[in-house]
């Protein structure tokens, strides 16, 4: 089974400015209500430690591996519950330059594994949208 959640928002700022905020992980506790902490070296192939606090749910820590890091364009990681195939998530941040002074910020996650049918993803999608809005507000005011 699989399930994809995808959200997006137009930000009136350059991809470089959005990227700078998105990858300044030490400031996440101050502005990011969903992903409240990222620790480790965020480079392709590295394992990091991520703390999330989905709206209306208990927070959790997981240790995904960075799949892709393309400056001003993309950050992608994959995490798993216990071992591959139970409940896996490939999280993706994409920045698209609209060539008009704005950036399309797309946040998505592809979930797979045999536990997927048992999860309610409503709070996850809501949390993505809240994070997107906070990122937009920060990028547009600074």
Mean pLDDT by 10 residues, the chain (142 residues): 96 98 96 96 96 88 96 96 87 98 98 90 93 98 81
Residue at token pair 């137009």: 10
Q: Are 106 and 91 in contact (CB under 8 A)?
A: no
Q: Are 129 and 135 in contact (CB under 8 A)?
A: no
> What are the two backbone dihedrals, phi and then psi, of residue 109, each rounded to the nearest 5 degrees?
-150, 135
| CA-based nearest residue to 138, from 6, 17, 29 | 17
Range of the domain at 123: 2-141
pLDDT of residue 137: 98
| CA-based nearest residue to 20, from 104, 142, 131 | 142
CA count, 13 A, side-chain hemisphere, 139:
29
Q: How many residues would you count in the chain?
A: 142
Distance, in Å, from the CA atom of 119 to the CA atom of 128, rounded to the nearest integer, reads: 16
Helix (H) / strand (E) element for 106: namely strand 103-112
pLDDT of residue 59: 87
CATH code of the domain covering residue 112: 3.30.530.20
Q: Are strands 2-11 and 103-112 parallel, antiparallel or unpaired?
A: antiparallel
pLDDT of residue 124: 92
Domain count, the chain: 1
Residue 132: both structure tokens together: 């997107």
Q: Are 142 and 22 in contact (CB under 8 A)?
A: no
């Amino acid at each position: 089974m699989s399930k994809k959640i995808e959200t997006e928002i137009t930000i009136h700022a350059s991809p470089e400015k959005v990227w700078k905020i998105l990858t300044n992980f030490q400031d996440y506790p101050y502005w990011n209500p969903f992903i409240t902490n990222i620790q480790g070296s965020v480079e392709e192939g590295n394992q990091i430690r991520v703390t999330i606090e989905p709206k209306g749910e208990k927070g959790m820590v997981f240790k995904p591996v960075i799949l892709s890091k393309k400056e001003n364009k993309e950050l992608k990681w994959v995490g798993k519950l216990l071992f591959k195939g139970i409940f896996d998530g490939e999280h993706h941040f994409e920045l698209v330059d609209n060539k008009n002074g704005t950036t399309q910020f797309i946040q998505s996650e592809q979930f797979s594994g045999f536990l997927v049918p048992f999860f309610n993803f409503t709070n996850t999608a809501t949390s993505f949208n809240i994070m997107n809005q906070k990122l937009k507000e920060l990028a547009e005011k600074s």
